[in-house]
Structure 1
Amino acid sequence: MKVGHGSHIGKIRKLNQDAYWVGTSKDGRPVLAVADGLGGHRAGEVASQMLVTAIETFAETHQWDQVDLLKRDWVNAIQRANREIYEAGRSDEKLAGMGTTLTMMIQSGSHIHVFHVGDTRLYRIRKDGMEKVTKDHTLVESLLESGEISLEEARQHPNRNMLMRAIGTDPTLEVDVLDLDWVEEDLYLLCSDGLTNYVDEQQIWEIIKMTDQPSDSVQQLIDAANAHGGGDNITAIIYKPEVIG
Structure 2
Amino acid sequence: MQIEFQTSVGRKRKNNQDTVGVYQNKKDITLAIVADGMGGHQAGDTASYLAVTGLGEVWEETMLTQKDEVCEWLVSHIQEENTRIFDKGSSHPEMFGMGTTIVSTVLLEKELILAHVGDSRAYIVRNQEIKQLTEDHSLVNELIKTGEISVEMAQNHPKKNILVRSIGVPGEVEVDISLINCQEKDIILLCSDGLTNMLSNEDIKLIMSNGKSLKSRVNELVEKANEAGGTDNITVLLIDFDDELQEDTP
Counterpart of 2:127 in structure 1 is 127
1:95 lines up with 2:101 in the alignment:
no
- Percent identity for Structure 1 against Structure 2: 37
Query: Secondary structure of the equivalent of 1:156?
Result: coil
Cα offsets for 1:135-193 (capped at 9, x unmatched)? 00000001111111111111121111110000012231110000110112001000000
Code of the aligned partner of 1:140: V
Query: How many matched pairs?
Result: 243
Per-residue deviation, 1:29: 1.1
Counterpart of 1:194 in structure 2 is 194
Counterpart of 2:40 in structure 1 is 40
Contact 1:43/1:94 (8 A) holds in 2: yes
Name the CA distance, whole Å, in 1 between partners of 2:110 and 2:210. 25
The 5 Å alignment of 1:24-63 reads: 24-63=24-63
Unaligned runs of 5+ in 2: 244-250
Per-residue deviation, 1:65: 4.8
Per-residue deviation, 1:212: 3.8
Name the CA distance, whole Å, in 2 between partners of 1:162 and 1:231. 16
Code of the aligned partner of 1:57: E
Code of the aligned partner of 1:170: P
Name the CA distance, whole Å, in 2 between partners of 1:242 and 1:126. 11
TM superposition outliers: structure 1 runs of 4+ over 6 Å: none
Name the CA distance, whole Å, in 2 between partners of 1:99 and 1:134. 19
The 5 Å alignment of 1:64-213 reads: 64-213=64-213
Code of the aligned partner of 1:161: N
Per-residue deviation, 1:127: 2.8
Code of the aligned partner of 1:164: V
Name the CA distance, whole Å, in 2 between partners of 1:108 and 1:242. 15
Per-residue deviation, 1:210: 1.2
Name the CA distance, whole Å, in 1 between partners of 2:225 and 2:130. 18
Code of the aligned partner of 1:61: E
Coordinate RMSD, CA, aligned: 1.2
Name the CA distance, whole Å, in 2 between partners of 1:190 and 1:109. 18
Contact 1:86/1:171 (8 A) holds in 2: no
Per-residue deviation, 1:207: 1.0
